[in-house]
Structure 1
Amino acid sequence: MATKIAEMQADLRKEAGRLGFATIGFAPATDDPLRTRRLQEWLAAGHHGSMEWMEARADVRCGPQSMWPGAASVLALGMSYAPKGDPLALAEEGQIARISTYAQGGDYHDTVKKALKALARWLVAEAARRGLPDAELKVFVDTAPVMEKPLGEAAGIGWQGKHTNLVSRTHGSWLFLGAIYCTVPFTPDTHHPDRCGSCRACQDACPTDAFPQPYRLDARRCISYLTIEHKGPIPLEFREAMGNRIYGCDDCLAVCPWNKFADLAARHKAFLPRAELAAPALADLLELDDAGFRQLFSGSPIKRIGRDRFVRNCLIAAGNSGDVSLLARVSTLMADADSVVAEAASWAAERLTAAI
């Protein structure tokens, strides 16, 4: 049986590549005491902010065995969304809104999950065809209580860098991660060593000092968290540092030296940037009502934050822009039905008026 499993594992790697995954690795389905301790410390410090779901199922996040004692192996997979250009190129263009690289194309949840399910079906069928015991499995991408980054490190596809994201020697910091837990006892790959060394580029690049220490992120200070997960007013202390970032932040990822080795040929076509999202004008985005927002961001991960939170972000960017031509539209939004939007508009209007 071991020979059949080894042959299927080799073919599984090929099938993953055919389905669009840039990398795949195998890890034992064991819990990780070190990662569990770090998660508990992170939660105890309140660094998860308002992401209650991180705390609600913390026991399950300890590892595969905590979720499913029947699991024998973990397949860790990654799809590349490596950008062709410099994600920081528009940093000084106040009239242009900056959207994180990962959100300029199609919604990764849909693309990755579809491919994971196809790979899972292939695995089940192949196990049966080769006379192996029935393969049971569970498929995960982002929305489940699964620690994809530590699992990716355990499976050898990269390591969790000082910015807490996975880093690959082949794909840099640009991987969407997914996982499959299964009952087949595949041979584990070698745990990936940490290659950050003494580098602290990601720590130094953070505009809001969101890293209290290497390998530890305080989400409450992170622009990605503030623009995506945070539902209330943006704290005043972070507004100027946001600059023209309206959805996510690439700074800590973009400066990673390993990105110079990123294989652009491995980038999945579903994540190529849409022209209207690569460098959108703030003036246009401030005009969006709910229907216009839904139409523009159909099929985009941005759609999930809703029009109000999105326009709030755009207003902060407008206030930072110094572009007084935006003042008329900003002033109109001071009467918006959403109180958070109205407050952000008042702040932006005050900033722009001062620039006249």
Structure 2
Amino acid sequence: MAVKAREPRGTRLMRLCVAVLFIATSTGSTIDLALEAKSTSGAASGWFSVAWTNGGMFNSDAVIGNIATGTSVGTYAISSYSSVVTTSRFAITAASVTRSGGSTIAKFTRSTGDGTVAVNVAGSNKLVWAFSSGGSKTVANHGGSHSVLLHWKKVSATQLDMAVELKTSSGASNGWFALGWANGGSMAPSDAVIGNRAGGIVSPYRITGYTMNSLQGASFSIGSGAGTVKSATGSTTVIQFSRTTGTGSIPIKMSGVSHLIWAHSNSNSKTLAFHSGADGRMSVDFSCAMSPSSVDDGGYDHDGDDHHGGDDHYGDGDDWQRGGGSGSGSSGAFLSQLISWLGLLFGFRK
């Protein structure tokens, strides 16, 4: 299997993109993986890792690549925030890590039947990833600046109930937060749902450009009445709404890949001012509960076959599906994501 990183399109430089390629071998006993961290801040020049977990960083089986120490890739057991030790409880082979330009790429093959958290080639696997801050050579604190989770429930053949959750460490969620449908993954043109935490109002809009007068009334509704800011506590904001098929300039699709964009205000601003660094993309297939990580990529090339994810439960106990991701920040980023292994491609080309 030959794997090579894909180059970004356009002239806007990205702050961070983390991409994963994974393909199960014909025997089902091993899985080949490649992990790329692409950054213009130098954050990917130290270490970065991917780990199998049953719920968070603790008690996970991690593969960590360190570009600074002989381009090594090793296996580690993470039992606490201060305990990251080498382990032989699972094995990897054909491991390498290289750096070229702004990208660090680790490749390895992992067995499927070992480890505290074994690989599941026929279903969902929960992964976490992390990378060093500013080229740090130690596994120091690497908390991110914000995260976005998308939850959805298929109510009928023509309706989706949705909730979008924003968590920040900067308090930026006190302003506004938006989710949009965009054919090309860019802000304009798009159909967007925007929630204002201060007023508790969620409304649909059509975005035709990059100025305030480009925000127009939408040709779709978000349920009977309006959407709601379901909760707004501390650094977390949740907006909830419904969408039906056949409406809007970019109608929702119940199957196939939907390209979504998201953004939130900087510094608790109540106006839709410039929000670079507080935006990103995700691609979702609502029919099969599969969603890729949201990446703040500023021009990274996404194709229609990008879909990762799994299912989770949210809120009232109904069966909500979840996809999500992490935004960029000077201190790094962290993501917990349910991954399905069924022939998925994200950010790499064979």
Greater per-residue strand proportion: 2
Question: Which TM-score band applies after superposition, normalised by the shorter structure?
Answer: under 0.3
Q: TM-score, normalised by structure 1?
A: 0.22
Greater per-residue helix proportion: 1
